[in-house]
Amino acid sequence: MSLARTPLWDWHTAHGATLVPFAGWEMPLQYTGIVEEHAAVRTAAGLFDVSHMGKLLIRGEGALESANRLSTNDLPSKPGRARYAHLCDDQGRILDDVIFTTLGPAEVFCVCNAGTRARVVEWMRGHLLGAELVDLTVEFLCLAFQGPRALRLLKDLLDADPTAAKPFGGLIASWRGVAGAETVGWEGLGSAMLDSARTGAPHPFLVTRTGYTGEEGVELFPHRSIGERVWEEILAAGQEVGVRPIGLGARDTLRLEKGYLLSGQDFDGTRTPLEAGCEWLVKWEHEFIGREALRRQKDAGDHERLVGIRLEDRGVPRHGCEILREGRRIGTLTSGTLSPTLRRGVGLGYVPPDAAVPGTTVAVRVRDRDIPSKVVKPPFL
């Protein structure tokens, strides 16, 4: 089966990226090195091509109300606000973690993970009440620009001020110097996106104050007709202060330092938001698919918990490493790495409730060594 490619694949190839298969796509793992790219995001800013992410438009009468029924979190009614949420099946198991952005009562934009996209699209279409879902993934890019210098640099490239948007807020922007970009309001953005997909016209596009690194930044969703221009001009504007392209390798170490979950790894279709430490995403007062199953699990209280694990000695933990307590296996790491910032091994893993208390002494088996470790509450940094 051939791998999909983002509109920037030729650029990545021409600029020496190491390309790897990921969730059905051929994606850049690194350009110059994971540690160097990681440091660039923490100290200046980095630009990620994450256009493999699913980009879904839910539209029609009652679109917001219908989408809200799919979401563990209560979606905002105000246009231009975004919300992180889980989608769950009838048994409360996580299908995916997504970000919804409300465009209006009849239009909602949803970003899902690449590996779950086909299943999420099918599931949503089977549960939306009257609204339609349009999959715009291949027509639009998703560019994550993250780091302490990102917002100020981007301010000079857009006709809207990204610093004016609050975290998980959005704005509609045109790219500097792009002809034919007329004014579009929130309730017209979905129609403009559909027109871009049909004609290639570079309409104003969505920018959200969201990201996966823990740093300030945005995610931009320009149409593919201007995608390479946006990418190159951001890199050119930030070259003197150390902005660089960033691959999936550093994206993984950055997110893990902040304790952010990876779809398909930290939850895999068998785990619930309560097990994954995400009850904060569950708004019990509103109806959503899987709520009753989650209530039963919460009342029982005997489920495993996803916890942070910090190594107390040298070692590089990886996905699949055993977690031990008093020499007995109690769990397995779902994620693990050597934190480039802390220079210490960190990971995530599921353990029984009695071992989930921060400060609990455990060990992580790395190859043939049992490395002393502690249970901690993420983030690590």
Q: Residue 338's pLDDT is what? A: 98
Please give the Cα distance from 330 to 15 (Å, whole number): 45
How does pLDDT run across 244-280, given as a tens digit for each residue? 999 999 999 999 999 999 999 999 999 999 999 999 9
Q: Residue 285's pLDDT is what? A: 97
How does pLDDT run across 356-380, given as a tens digit for each residue? 999 999 999 999 999 999 999 999 9
Q: Tell me the pLDDT band of 77, cut-offs 50, 70 and 90.
A: very high
Residue in the block written with tokens 């290639």: 200
Does residue 182 have a pLDDT over 80? no
In the chain, the domains with their CATH numbers are 1-301 (3.30.1360.120), 304-376 (2.40.30.110)
Q: Residue 181's pLDDT is what? A: 59
Q: Tell me the pLDDT band of 178, cut-offs 50, 70 and 90.
A: confident
How does pLDDT run across 308-347, given as a tens digit for each residue? 999 999 999 999 999 999 999 999 999 999 999 999 999 9
Query: Model's pTM, two decimal places?
Result: 0.97
32-60 mean pLDDT: 98
Does residue 230 have a pLDDT over 70? yes
* Cβ-contact 30, 249 below 8 angstroms: yes
Mean residue pLDDT of the chain comes to 97
Q: Tell me the pLDDT band of 140, cut-offs 50, 70 and 90.
A: very high
